[in-house]
Amino acid sequence: MDKEKKGKLKEVSKSKEVATSKKSYLKSHWKTILAIVIPLVLIILGTIFSFSPLRNVFSGFVIQEENETNLSDVNETNVTEPEEIIEPPVIQTISTFENITNQTPPSFPSGGGGGSSNGEPSCTPSKTCLDYPGLCGTSLSNGCENILDCSDNCDANFTCFLGECIPPSIQISSCQLLDKPTIYILNTSINNNNLTDNCMNIITENTTLDCNNSYINSNQSFAGVYSDKSNITIKNCNITMGTTIGGAGIKLISPDNSNIFNNILNSQYEGLYLESTSSATITNNTMNNNWESGIHLISSSNIIVTNNTANNNWKYGIDLYQSSSNLIQNNILNENEYAGIYIYENISLGFGGSNQILNNFLFLNSWGGMEILSSHNIIRGNFINRTDYIPFLTFGLRLWDNANNTIQFNNITNCQYYGLTLINSDNNTITYNIIANNSGYIGIENNSESTGNIIGNNTF
């Protein structure tokens, strides 16, 4: 009886030990159990409800399991603490991301940028041209991706230029770049002997400089006004610059359609210098006491030079070099050291000639009134009076190494020696001129190397 009780007590004690051991094991392994059970439950639910994205997520879990322990081997002596459990990392499968990135993004109405989850644009155009006062053009943003057309965004009389509304005029008071298509008005005189470049430099087409009768003075040999841009106007300037090479009142190189008027360009190396210029108008300017010429045209064409005064210049009043199809009319050219008008053409270069020299007044020019080394010119209606520098050398009008000029209706009188002389000049027409009271050759000297000239109906 005692043995039977002892056996039952022993079995009960063993059962309690096993139960205690199971509780301890579950307590130590609950994370592992949950990591196994929860994915299995969700996969089952995903299968039931066809919730494939969730199934794909959890199908990618990698679970590191421990070796199972045989509970029957657990006893009082061999029960040990379980090793530390390393929680498995969560790894999403590629298929999960493919399901996201392969979806077609929502489309947005024109003018929107970006978007929200409900397909509506997140950028609503809000700006108009009125939000950009003083700016213009077609490069202004409406606040989204669209571009506004604000080409008419400027006030009346303003001009849209490079995105900026330019006023009809700008006041200036110093030497500077003129870089906007507007009227610059000089509101004070400038005296600057420290210049390192041209004073006014016009670098934009359709620009006007109005000096408002103010002075630009410097002893540096740069240009008072310089430009190589077309469609410019320079007016009402009184300019005196340096007297060595480079000093010029106004210098234009390569522009078209320029207007130069009502300027005074005195006492510098050259008054007005134009090179490779076409279709300019030069009128009502005064260019006196310059070291070279009052007006100097080089390789220029279709220039209108009218109603200007060029007196007391060291060389010429007006000097045309390799220039063609120009009109020189109604100018006063007095007391210039070499000649009132000088026209030179290098025939071998094939450029020059075909100028019209009409109704100019040339008085008291030292060497000669007019010297023409150019062909196909029309010289008509000019008044040439008194040339008296060196006896036996001065002339009223001299034609030299040229051909096919027309000399008509000119008045050449009181010259020191020659009235009109031809040297190596052929096929010219010389008619209806008054050539009188000249102290040397009273009329026309036509040397033996000049042939084919038509001379008639002149008054001597």
Compute the distance between CA of residue 185 and CA of residue 155 in angstroms, rounded to an integer. Answer: 20
Could you tell me if 79 and 139 lie in one domain?
Answer: no
Pairing of strands 223-227, 200-202: parallel
Sequence-distant (6+) residues with CB within 8 A of 94 are none
232 and 162 fall within a common domain: no
**Does any domain span residue 162?**
yes
Assess contact for 199 and 222: CB atoms under 8 A. yes
- Domain extent, residue 332, equals 182-456
Structural domain contains residue 269: yes
Distances in Å between the Cα of 400 and the Cα atoms of 12, 82, 187, 204, 403 are 148, 124, 48, 42, 9
Query: For residue 57, what pLDDT is reported?
Result: 47
Residue 19 lies in a domain: yes
Sign for the pseudo-dihedral over CA of 423, 344, 316, 359: positive
Give the model's pLDDT for residue 46. 63
The number of domains in the chain is 3
| Contact (CB, 8 A) for 121 and 114 | yes
* Residues 191, 214: Cα–Cα separation, whole Å: 11
Residues of the chain with pLDDT under 50: 9, 51-79, 82, 91-120
- Say if residue 134 is in the same domain as residue 66: no
Do 189 and 155 have their domain in common? no
d(CA 121, CA 107): 9
Q: Which among 111, 142, 167 is the end of a domain?
A: 167
- Can you tell me the distance from the alpha carbon of 219 to that of 247, in angstroms, rounded to the nearest whole number? 9
pTM of the model: 0.71
Indicate whether 114 belongs to any domain.
no
111, part of any domain? no
Q: Could you give the 3-state DSSP secondary structure of residue 19?
A: helix
My answer on whether 418 and 308 are in the same domain is yes
Nearest CA to 272 out of 258, 255, 260, 284 is that of 260
Report helix, strand or coil for 439. coil
- 325 within domain boundaries: yes
pLDDT in tens, 218-249: 999 999 999 999 999 999 999 999 999 999 99
Let me know if 313 is exposed, middle or buried by CB neighbors in 10 A (0-12, 13-18, 19+). buried
Residues 79, 188: one domain? no
Does 283 share its domain with 344? yes
* 90 plus 151 within the same structural domain: no
Q: Of 312, 420, 318, which Cα lies nearest the Cα of 366?
A: 312
What gap in Å lies between CA 290 and CA 316, rounded to an integer? 9
Give the C-alpha separation, 397 to 393, whole Å.
Answer: 12
Do 445 and 418 contact (CB within 8 A), yes or no?
Answer: yes
Whether 256 and 297 map to the same domain: the answer is yes
Residue 303 lies in a domain: yes
Calpha distance 25→48 (Å, rounded): 33
Predicted local confidence at residue 60, as pLDDT: 45
Q: How big is the chain, counted in residues?
A: 460
Q: Are 203 and 68 members of one domain?
A: no
| Same-domain pairing of 297 and 195 | yes
CATH number of the domain enclosing 270:
2.160.20.10
Angle, alpha carbons 298-302-307 (nearest 5°): 90
Residue 440 in any domain: the answer is: yes
- What the block records as the tokens of 4 is 């039977």
State pLDDT tens for residues 247-263.
999 999 999 999 999 99
Question: Is 291 found in the same domain as 188?
Answer: yes
Sequence-separated (6 or more) residues with CB below 8 Å from residue 332: 308, 309, 310, 311, 360, 361
228 contacts: CB under 8 Å, gap ≥ 6: 252, 253, 254, 255
3-state secondary structure of 144: coil
